[in-house]
Chain A
Amino acid sequence: MVKRKKITVGVTGLNNIDSPGPGIPVIRSLKESKIYEVRIIGLSYESLEPGLYMHELVDYSYQIPLPGAGVESLMQRLAYINSVEKLDVIIPNFDAELHNFIKAEKQILDAFGIKMFLPTLEQFDARQKSVLYNFGKENGIKVPFSKMIFSAAEISKLQHEFTYPMVVKGKFYDASIAYTSDQVTSYFHKISAKWGLPVIIQQFVSGQEVNVTAIGDGNGNCIGAVPMRKLYITDKGKAWAGVATDDAELIESAKKVIKALKWKGGNELEFIRNNDGEYFLLEINPRFPAWVYLATGCGQNHPEALVSLALGDKVKPFNEYIPGKMFVRYSYDMIVDLKEYEKISTIGEL
């Protein structure tokens, strides 16, 4: 048996709730690594993120400042955490924190020697919902027509460019299907109040949603890609069960996106397959999805590959996986001693 390399990895996204973060699936994948023996340091924003209390997966945890506090306070906190833990790699798993981590990537490497494998700011911005249509147009990837709107006054003009139904989307999160202009107006106000402006209007494409978890090496190569069809969807649109599918055309589409962006790091590509079998790219999420453990279950351990890429270790692209593997999510009530909650709430460590 090959001796595994001991490493320490900091992971965020420990909110394993009904709209789960990718942290726990990433950690499970890393714990199953055949290359690395991984000590996991959980990095949390709140005291009730379930991962904090999963001691069989998370070896020790620290609270970190909310993204809004900026890079400087993140650096200060990481200085302390690293003085104790000597982190080798950090895997950020939240969309909202990525901007800070990308901005501070070099600083974190220079100051602490901690490696990450993140998209560049240009890549991060190129896949924003607001510019995705243009990205698709430039690179021969089908994306439903979309445009940004900044005020409710623009809604009356939408009927010249779109047909109903249309999708009203927040710039970071949230999407609702509107069948009338009254509904567009109502969703516009709701979504802009929560996520700010612009709001994105996208032409609705009817079909079957399929997602791909993928990883790019930053040079245009796709290191791995596993497609998944949602079998059970929660009221938040999250997959509660899904199955890995085998669709060469979809994998090719994913590779095309990664090549066009020279994507660096993990991502989730959301496609819709219309009734004519054409794939439309709906979204690119700039981090692993919460169902990334399915890829590990199918034979492609993407989080392990990401760590190898971050550490500069050799990575062989995955050429195959086992389609037909399913995941079925469940919730589980952990019984937690109040002292643990007290510890993370007061001293910010557990």
Chain B
Amino acid sequence: MKKNIALSDTGFLFNPSTGDSYSTNPIGLDIIRELKEGSSPKEVLKFIMEKYEVEESRIEKDLGDFIDMLKSFQLMDNNG
């Protein structure tokens, strides 16, 4: 996750490089927070499974799609 992305407690995201802003729901906020702190997608997966008590099979694809979306919005560094 790019370090300069601003993220508020309400799930509002601002990319100061492009001026784009987004809003996300609480689970998206958790994922982005974890990514911002340097967690790998695997670590994020584990964190979400524990917090929301969901099976890996249910969350894995959604998380992958969400991260792909963050990449397409240019919110991720090249190294993830």
Which residues in A have some Cβ–Cβ distance to B below 8 Å?
208, 210, 228-229, 231, 242-247, 323-324
Contact = CB atoms under 8 A, between A and B. Distances in A.
B10 interface: no
Interface string B9-20: 000001011111
A324 B7 CA distance: 12
Contacts of A229: 18-20
Given A243-B21, A323-B16, 10 more contacts: A229-B19, A243-B19, A245-B17, A245-B18, A245-B19, A246-B4, A247-B16, A247-B18, A324-B6, A324-B14
A321 to B, nearest CB: 11
A261 B10 CA distance: 45
For the complex, would chain A's binding face be called helix, strand, loop or mixed by DSSP majority?
Answer: strand
A229 B21 CA distance: 11
Most buried by B among A208, A231, A243, A244: A243
B12 to A, nearest CB: 11
Contacts of B14: 324
Nearest to B14: A324
Contacts, number: 25
A318 to B, nearest CB: 17
Nearest to B20: A229
Contacts of A243: 19, 21
B71 to A, nearest CB: 14
A245 B18 CA distance: 6
Contacts of A244: 19
B6 A247 contact: no
Contact of B16 (A208, A210, A231, A324): A324
A229 B18 CA distance: 7
Contacts of B16: 245-247, 323-324
A229 B17 CA distance: 10
A247 B15 CA distance: 10
A89 to B, nearest CB: 33
A215 to B, nearest CB: 21
A243 B13 CA distance: 14
A269 B75 CA distance: 26
Contacts of B18: 208, 229, 245, 247
Q: Considering the complex of A and B, which 8 residue pairs feature the smallest CB-CB distances, nearest first?
A: A229-B19, A246-B16, A323-B16, A245-B19, A243-B19, A247-B17, A324-B16, A324-B14
B9 to A, nearest CB: 16
20 contacts: A208-B18, A228-B19, A229-B18, A229-B19, A242-B19, A243-B19, A243-B21, A244-B19, A245-B16, A245-B17, A245-B18, A246-B4, A246-B16, A246-B17, A247-B17, A247-B18, A323-B16, A324-B6, A324-B14, A324-B16
